[in-house]
Chains A and B, each alone.
Chain A
Amino acid sequence: ETGVTQTPRHLVMGMTNKKSLKCEQHLGHNAMYWYKQSAKKPLELMFVYNFKEQTENNSVPSRFSPECPNSSHLFLHLHTLQPEDSALYLCASSQALSVEQYFGPGTRLTVT
C-alpha cells in the first residue's frame, strides 16, 4: 500500500449505529487530518493531529470522536449521527503542519 488509504470506501449507517472510519498513511508523515466534504459546501477541517497529539478540533459535534494511536493511523468513531452528517470524509497527512497535505480517497458516508 502506498500513500493514504481509507476504509471503508462506502458506509451506510442508521442514526443509532456506531461505526468507525479508518485512515492509514504510508508516507512517514507526522500530521494527520480529518475533513468533511458535503455537497455544495467547501471542504471543512474537522480535526488535526500532530505527532499523535490533537492540535485542532474545529467545533465538531461530540458524536464524532477521533483517535490517533500513532502517527500512521487515524480513526473517526461515529455514533448517533444525523442525516446531515452524510458526506464524503477525507483523511489527509503531511510531513509537517505547514506543508502540503496528501489525501486519501475518502469514505462516502450515508446516514439513514
Chain B
Amino acid sequence: AQKITQTQPGMFVQEKEAVTLDCTYDTSDQSYGLFWYKQPSSGEMIFLIYQGSYDEQNATEGRYSLNFQKARKSANLVISASQLGDSAMYFCAMREMDSSYKLIFGSGTRLLVRP
C-alpha cells in the first residue's frame, strides 16, 4: 500500500484565491512527521511546513497552513491568497519516527496559478 497518496495530479487556482492540496498517509507508527515541499521548475525542493503527529494545533507558516486530521490520516496543505510564483509541484512527505528516519514522498500535485 502507498504510504503517501496525493490524488490530484494537477490543480488550477485563480490568483489571490485559496487552494487546498490533498494528502493522505498510511502508517501504524504512533510517532511520525508530515512535511510539505514545493518544487519549482528549477528543480530545487523547498521546505514549506511541518506537522508532528503529537502536535495538537495545525501548523501554519505565513500563507501556508496544514489541515491535519489525524483520525482521517490526512494532512492537506492550504495556500491562501495564491500568487503567480506559487505555480510549482507540491509534494507531501512523511517520516515514521518509530521505525525509520526515511522520508517518504507522494507523487506530487502540479499547481498552476492563473492571473
Contacts and interface: CB of A to CB of B under 8 A. Distances in A.
Interface in A29-57: 33, 40-43, 45, 48, 55-56
Q: How large is the interface on A (under 10, 10 to 19, 20 to 34, 35 or more residues)?
A: 20 to 34
Given A103-B44, A103-B46, A105-B44, A98 B103 contact: no
B45 A98 contact: no
Contacts of A88: 43
Contact of A48 (B97, B101, B108): B101
7 contacts: A42-B91, A88-B43, A100-B35, A100-B50, A103-B47, A105-B42, A105-B43
Interface of B: 4, 33, 35, 37, 42-47, 50, 91, 93, 95, 97, 100-108
Closest 8 CB pairs of A and B: A103-B45, A43-B105, A97-B101, A106-B43, A105-B44, A42-B105, A100-B47, A42-B107
